[in-house]
Amino acid sequence: MNLQQLLVDSAQLTDEDTVLEIGTGTGALTARIAKGVAAVITVEIDKHLYQLASEELIDFDNVTLLQQDALKNKNRFNENILAAVEASLRENGPFKLVANLPYNIATPVISNLLACKIPPESMTVTIQKELAERIIAKPSTKDYSHLSVWIQSQCAAEIVRIMPPSVFWPQPKVESAIIHLKLDEARRARIPDLPFFHTFNRSLFFHRRKFLRSVVISAMKKQLDKAQVDASIAEAGLRGDQRAEQLSVENILALCEAVRSRL
């Protein structure tokens, strides 16, 4: 099966959608997406590829092609791109990400979009297999990380297809995967303060092998004393001698709120 078509089919696009694509390349995938949606905002940083894509997409009046970096920095999405998406959403329906993401920016793109005021309804992307496995990882496994918790706290995640290097040209050195992330509004609504949860969750995994009590004391230094940390851990139904990598998403959400309520 054509992998570009599999990516598009997995995204479950409709003719009302606004689609964001990061990494236009020559525009082949963009053209495939544009045939079935209301609008495409597609972003390419490389000047040469931008010119090639401009020629490929010249007949599509529903495509906006931007030549810039998708990220303002590692922790912030480019505001110009978000503004283009928001402008399209005033006229069109759901916002979705569909892309063969450049491997070097895949993690910050996915992570930062989930931190936005208007996150994508779904993200269907080709990424490195190792990253896809981290996203869907379960507690007490080597791949379980702050990224697993951040994404699973807001989305249902499914690996659609794993692909060997041989299906791409030029061939990457690693296996790839198509992953589909579906935003779950009920899950997201459980998080009263997304920026705080994002920061707190990351801090738990800075020293993933250390005991929970010492990690939280370090993370909340100058904000909570040891007695308040102990009370927060107990309120969340946890023990200080557990480790972050053992905790479920629900455990970490509960601990985060117990800590936040004491600030």
Please identify, among 189, 221, 243, the residue that sits at the C-terminal boundary of a domain: 189
**Shared domain check, 118 and 73:** yes
Q: Considering 189, 207, 230, which residue would you say is the last residue of a domain?
A: 189
Q: What is the DSSP letter of 205?
A: T
Examine the domain organization and report whether 201 and 218 are in the same domain. yes
**Distance between CA atoms of residues 94 and 121, nearest Å:** 6
Does residue 94 share a domain with residue 204?
Answer: no
Question: Cα–Cα distance between 212 and 234 in angstroms, integer?
Answer: 12
Fill in the amino acid letter for 226.
Answer: K
**pLDDT (tens digit per residue) in 243-255:** 999 999 999 999 9
- For residues 19 and 37, is the Cβ–Cβ distance under 8 A? yes
Average pLDDT, stretch 203-222? 95
Residues 81 and 110 grouped into a single domain: yes
Quick one: pLDDT band at residue 44, thresholds 50, 70, 90?
very high
Q: Are residues 226 and 114 in the same domain?
A: no
The whole-number average pLDDT for the span 145-174 is: 94
Instruction: Show the domain range for 19.
Output: 3-189
Number of domains in the chain: 2
pLDDT at 219 exceeding the cut of 80: yes
CB 155 within 8 A of CB 182: yes
Alpha-carbon distances of 246 from 111, 140, 191, 250, rounded to whole Å: 22, 5, 20, 12
Neighbours of 129 (CB within 10 A): 16
- For residue 51, the domain's CATH number is 3.40.50.150
Residues 152, 70 share a domain: yes
Residues 178 and 127 in one domain: yes
Same domain, 128 and 51: yes
Q: Report the pLDDT averaged over residues 58-75.
A: 95
Q: Are 209 and 156 part of one and the same domain?
A: no
Average pLDDT value for residue range 189-197: 97
Residue 167 banded pLDDT, cuts 50, 70, 90 = confident
Across the range 185-204, mean pLDDT stands at 97
Does residue 10 sit in the same domain as residue 41? yes
Arithmetic mean of pLDDT, 57-85: 95
Specify whether 147 is located in the same domain as 49. yes
Q: Which of 189, 211, 238 is the last residue of a domain?
A: 189
> What is the predicted pLDDT for the residue at 194?
97
Number of Cβ atoms within 10 Å of the Cβ of 26: 16
pLDDT digits 0-9 by tens, 72-109: 988 899 999 999 999 999 999 899 999 999 999 999 99
Stated pTM of the model: 0.95
Reported in sequence order, the residue ranges of 173-245 that DSSP labels E, i.e. its strands, are: 176-183
State how far the alpha carbon of 25 is from the alpha carbons of 92, 153, 168, in Å: 25, 32, 14
- pLDDT value, residue 1: 56
Q: Give the orientation angle of helix 194-204 with respect to helix 249-260, to 10 degrees.
A: 110
Give strand pairing partners of 181.
Answer: 123, 157
Which residues make Cβ contacts (< 8 Å) with residue 70, sequence separation at least 6? 22, 43, 45, 77, 78, 81, 105, 109
Mean pLDDT of the chain: 96
Is 169 a residue whose pLDDT tops 90? no
- Number of Cβ within a 10 Å radius of residue 177: 20
Q: Which long-range contacts (CB under 8 A, 24 or more apart) does 129-135 make?
A: 129/162, 129/163, 129/174, 129/175, 129/176, 129/177, 130/174, 130/175, 131/103, 131/106, 131/107, 131/177, 132/159, 132/162, 132/177, 132/179, 133/159, 133/177, 135/110, 135/179, 135/181
